[in-house]
A and B are shown apart, each in its own frame.
Chain A
Amino acid sequence: MQAKTTSPQAGSLATWLVAILGVGLLVILLLSFVLERQARPSSQVAGVSASLRIAYFEFGRDADILWLANPSDLTDRKRLFGVQHAPEFGVVPSVAPDGRSFVYTALAPNTPAPSPNAPAGLWHAPVSANAVPRLIAPTVDLLVEPVWSADSRNLVYRRSTANGYVLAIIPVAGGEERVLTTSETSALFPVGFDSSGATTMYYVAIDESSGSRLFETDLTTGVSKFVAALSLGLTRDWSLSPDGTKVAYLEIGIGPDVVSSRALVFDFAGAKAEAVTDRTTSAFSPVWSADGDLVIGSLDETNRTAGLLTVDTTSRTVLEGPARGFEVPLAVGPAGSSYIVRAFENASSYSPGRSSLALVGADGARQTIATGEVTFVGWTNP
């Protein structure tokens, strides 16, 4: 019965509570207006969250500097930290899917007479100023970009030994390395995990006799299984679609009269690969948007025309290239309406000239993010 009992004091308290609540709501409302005004940049890239940043390393002879650029205002750049490395051997980064951290391979600064096959360290760091990188694994392959699981928890990387190639997995937060697969004769390249990140890891094996073949490894049993022959020749730039149903890649095609690199997509459901570009143009670096569109750089060296080709389930659109040179896509903006590209000054893949990192809007507007030697890390969410 006490619950229904009231008193003059209790009534006064309730009034006060309501008043405080009202004032609190008013303050929150006002704050939200203020924050919204602050968060809305004057020229925000369409559909891109204001908190996202473009991360890249500025290459230096002895150290690479990590920068964050605001896509809405590329003059708004923030230097996060530097990573020392062996002279002239920059870091090879790979950003986590959640955009909050990244890993990189690097040769120790004191490596005597460094070379690409010298043992590298694999380091993890948050995307934050003055972060302290943490060594995850020693003696990994410098040049093979590590691959993240979709949940940003696990990482696959390559190690070369006297007996061949090893793909190993390790929990990013710390834990034991586990060998997933090995090969004595085929060079192994990790491609990606299934969308859950829990059951399957895909990789490509390359050798002279079999060409490029796609395999999958069961993460639980460690059993590897052949999936498909991607090409009898060299392939590169393999990219798993966000839903894990397709792999896009480049094939270095060589015909009797024509040589080119063309983009193909392997569809797991249909178990076959189909070309999405033809041999009249050179294709570069297929990358997926978050909603499953495929973006490919293309260059017709004969006619000196270039563009960014977008392929979805029903259509193909081309965003015309720059007045000079051509562009290689590196990532699609989170809303699918902007592109990070490496822009080359000449319309020749053999002699591409200088390059810069640029942001291309859906309307074709191009803004330079950084000139000189930069290594793109990815979209980050610091």
Chain B
Amino acid sequence: MRPLLALKLTLIATTAAITMALQPAPTTSAQEPPATDPTTTASCVFPFTPTTYEDLRDRGLFLDTIELAAFNYLFPGDPYFGLPDLEVGPRDARTTVPGQVPPVLLKAIAYIESSITQGGADTPFGSIGAALVAWDCGHGVAQVTSGMTVPAGEVGRGSPQQALVASHFAYNIARGANILVEKWNDAPEEKPIAGVDTGSHPALLENWYYAVWGYNGFTGPGSNKSNHPMDPIYGSWPRTPYSCGAETDGLGHNRNNYPYQELVLGCAANPPVIEGEKLWEAQPIGLPDLNHPAWRQAMSLQNFVFPYRKMDIPSPQPFNLDLTEAPDPLLRQEILGAPELALSAYDAWVAYAPGIGSTITWVDVFNTGTGVLTYYAMSSAPWLKVNPYTGVAVGADLPCNIEENVPCDRAGHIALEVDTEKVPEGEVTVQVMVQALGTPHQAVINVHVSPVVRTGLGQ
């Protein structure tokens, strides 16, 4: 019995040791408190994180794209990615002018939203990796949330538009600009007007006050997403102006203390500095003088009632214009490139054992052209799983992994697999259509599916 007892004791000790080892660490370094998982609070459009292309650290490509979007040079006329006309003029006599956004506002919004990044934290600058998807389903550079929470495509899938927003920086930025104009146009029916004394002229940066507020949500007092400038939720009042510049510039950098529009306008006035260079020229923008009745009274609590008619304000003073010159329209072609779709295989074979499992066959998606290609794959049979069905393939013209000096995988990768519960009996061939979104290019993969005959003992 003694050897058995010893074994038992050893087992107990080992089990205890393993159990202890498997316990969550009771303490964590104060330098790095364990994170509450901020990514599990919402389900978004895609059940996977699409890949994307991330700009270099200087954000040059994305900033150029922002300027194109601001002048509506990216996708003019496209109802989803182009700029609608802007409604201007007095509340009861609105007219329209061609859609255009002050570029500096769009740049500052992009910086506040995402630090002007399309990829997640694990995607280095100048590389291909997982797209940035926030806890609230905000996607990419412009943190597009509207329309990105629920799949809008066929059979419960994300739509091609949603795929572009998630994976392609240019479409993401263009969609952000579109949404900002929509927020402007919410006035006067649903939102107040800024600039009642200046015909709400969109060239005046100060007249975008409510549109910028609305971009983050026209939420009001007390909400944890409030952007009301007098909200008690902002613990520090009065407050030093916000800055995206160096921490040593004497201004405020703790975003806890500011409503969204003050972050954006402060960032425009005090731009971020990357590797010693400002990302844009400092652009002063006046805030409503909350000490003056003309502005402060508009912000009173009782006025924060739909459709917010009593919140109309004159243009905050002094006025400022964004004098950014229009970019060369040819820059569009340079940025979007000319993606060309190619696949590693146009025939693929998948085998399965009914009710048990399926092999997985990978097909690579290449961009033999230039720029970023967003692919979108769809099977002709619902039982053939295509995953991930969207992502990017990047042309050889874009720098990739130059900081890490490691090989760059520019291809997309699609896994083909059979749902063994739903696949019909026998051999069958189905098609997977792969589209290069935003281009006329598409390709078909013929997927040959066949059951596997099990052999073994007893058969």
Return the contact of B296 from the options A187, A254, A353 (Cβ within 8 A): A254
Tell whether, in the assembled complex, residue A123 and residue B33 are in contact, meaning their CB atoms are under 8 Å apart. yes
Per-residue CB proximity of B233-259 to A under 8 Å, as 1/0?
111111111000001101111111000
Q: State in angstroms the CA–CA spacing of A304 and B29 once bound together.
A: 48
Tell whether, in the assembled complex, residue B240 and residue A113 are in contact, meaning their CB atoms are under 8 Å apart. no
A292 lies within 8 A of chain B by Cβ: no
B297 lies within 8 A of chain A by Cβ: yes
Tell whether, in the assembled complex, residue B135 and residue A133 are in contact, meaning their CB atoms are under 8 Å apart. no
Q: Which of A112-126 contact B (CB under 8 A)?
A: 112-121, 123, 125
Return the contact of A81 from the options B30, B235, B250 (Cβ within 8 A): B30
Return the contact of B230 from the options A82, A252, A256 (Cβ within 8 A): A252
Q: Which residue of B lies closest to A255 (CB)?
A: B293
Q: State in angstroms the CA–CA spacing of A112 and B137 once bound together.
A: 10
Task: Indicate whether A208 sits within 8 Å of B33 (C-beta atoms), given known contacts A112-B135, A113-B114, A352-B239.
Answer: no
A375 lies within 8 A of chain B by Cβ: yes
Q: State in angstroms the CA–CA spacing of A84 and B135 once bound together.
A: 19
A344 lies within 8 A of chain B by Cβ: yes
Return the contact of A234 from the options B28, B29, B230, B253 (Cβ within 8 A): B230
* Neighbouring A residues of B324 by C-beta, 8 Å: none
Per-residue CB proximity of B267-294 to A under 8 Å, as 1/0?
0000000000000000000000111110
Per-residue CB proximity of B136-147 to A under 8 Å, as 1/0?
101000010000
* Neighbouring A residues of B27 by C-beta, 8 Å: 132
A207 lies within 8 A of chain B by Cβ: yes
Interface of B is mostly: loop
Tell whether, in the assembled complex, residue B36 and residue A82 are in contact, meaning their CB atoms are under 8 Å apart. no
Q: Which residue of A lies closest to B133 (CB)?
A: A112
Q: State in angstroms the CA–CA spacing of A143 and B256 once bound together.
A: 7
Tell whether, in the assembled complex, residue B30 and residue A133 are in contact, meaning their CB atoms are under 8 Å apart. yes
* Neighbouring A residues of B30 by C-beta, 8 Å: 81-83, 125, 130-133
Per-residue CB proximity of A72-105 to B under 8 Å, as 1/0?
0000000001111001111010000000000000
Query: How near does chain A come to B73, taking the closest CB pair, in angstroms?
Result: 26
A225 lies within 8 A of chain B by Cβ: no
Instruction: Among A84, A123, A373, find the residue whose CB has the most chain B CB atoms closer than 10 A.
Output: A373
* Neighbouring A residues of B226 by C-beta, 8 Å: 187
Per-residue CB proximity of A164-199 to B under 8 Å, as 1/0?
010000000000000000000011110000000000
A237 lies within 8 A of chain B by Cβ: yes
**The stretch of B59-67, B178-186, B301-309 that contacts the partner chain:** B301-309
Tell whether, in the assembled complex, residue B138 and residue A113 are in contact, meaning their CB atoms are under 8 Å apart. yes
* Neighbouring B residues of A235 by C-beta, 8 Å: 232
* Neighbouring A residues of B255 by C-beta, 8 Å: 88-89, 116
Tell whether, in the assembled complex, residue A81 and residue B136 are in contact, meaning their CB atoms are under 8 Å apart. no
B225 lies within 8 A of chain A by Cβ: yes
Return the contact of B132 from the options A112, A139, A255, A373 (Cβ within 8 A): A112
**The stretch of B216-224, B339-347, B375-383 that contacts the partner chain:** B216-224
Tell whether, in the assembled complex, residue A373 and residue B252 are in contact, meaning their CB atoms are under 8 Å apart. yes
Return the contact of B293 from the options A109, A257, A328 (Cβ within 8 A): A257
Query: How near does chain A come to B150, taking the closest CB pair, in angstroms?
Result: 15
Task: Indicate whether A109 sits within 8 Å of B35 (C-beta atoms), given known contacts A208-B304, A234-B231, A354-B240.
Answer: yes
B325 lies within 8 A of chain A by Cβ: no
Task: Indicate whether A119 sits within 8 Å of B36 (C-beta atoms), given known contacts A350-B289, A354-B251, A355-B240.
Answer: yes
Tell whether, in the assembled complex, residue B136 and residue A234 are in contact, meaning their CB atoms are under 8 Å apart. no
Q: State in angstroms the CA–CA spacing of A144 and B304 once bound together.
A: 21
A-B contact count (CB 8 A): 207
* Neighbouring B residues of A255 by C-beta, 8 Å: 293
B41 lies within 8 A of chain A by Cβ: yes
Tell whether, in the assembled complex, residue B301 and residue A112 are in contact, meaning their CB atoms are under 8 Å apart. no
Query: How near does chain B come to A62, taking the closest CB pair, in angstroms?
Result: 11
* Neighbouring A residues of B233 by C-beta, 8 Å: 143-144, 187, 189
Q: State in angstroms the CA–CA spacing of A259 and B297 once bound together.
A: 8
Interface residues on B, range: 35 or more
Q: State in angstroms the CA–CA spacing of A89 and B297 once bound together.
A: 30
* Neighbouring A residues of B290 by C-beta, 8 Å: 259, 349-350
A111 lies within 8 A of chain B by Cβ: yes
Query: How near does chain B come to A136, taking the closest CB pair, in angstroms?
Result: 11
Task: Indicate whether A254 sits within 8 Å of B33 (C-beta atoms), given known contacts A141-B224, A189-B232, A234-B221.
Answer: no
Q: Which of A238-271 contact B (CB under 8 A)?
A: 252, 254-259
A135 lies within 8 A of chain B by Cβ: yes
Tell whether, in the assembled complex, residue B31 and residue A135 are in contact, meaning their CB atoms are under 8 Å apart. no
Return the contact of A206 from the options B225, B234, B301 (Cβ within 8 A): B301
Tell whether, in the assembled complex, residue A115 and residue B225 are in contact, meaning their CB atoms are under 8 Å apart. yes
Return the contact of B223 from the options A187, A257, A375 (Cβ within 8 A): A187
B439 lies within 8 A of chain A by Cβ: no
Q: Which residue of A lies closest to B227 (CB)?
A: A116
Per-residue CB proximity of A345-361 to B under 8 Å, as 1/0?
00011111111000000
Task: Indicate whether A118 sits within 8 Å of B136 (C-beta atoms), given known contacts A145-B235, A206-B232, A234-B221.
Answer: yes
Q: Which of B1-40 contact A (CB under 8 A)?
A: 27-39
Q: State in angstroms the CA–CA spacing of A352 and B291 once bound together.
A: 12
A-B pairs with beta carbons under 8 Å apart, 22 shown:
A59-B254, A60-B247, A89-B255, A107-B38, A111-B35, A112-B135, A113-B134, A115-B134, A135-B33, A141-B224, A189-B222, A189-B233, A206-B221, A206-B301, A208-B301, A208-B302, A234-B221, A237-B232, A254-B297, A255-B293, A259-B291, A352-B238
A residues contacting B by CB (< 8 A) are 59-61, 63, 81-84, 87-90, 92, 106-121, 123, 125, 130-133, 135, 138-139, 141-145, 158, 160, 165, 186-189, 206-209, 211-212, 232-237, 252, 254-259, 282, 284, 301, 328, 342, 344, 348-355, 372-373, 375
A-B pairs with the 8 shortest C-beta distances?
A187-B222, A236-B232, A108-B35, A113-B134, A117-B225, A111-B38, A138-B36, A90-B254
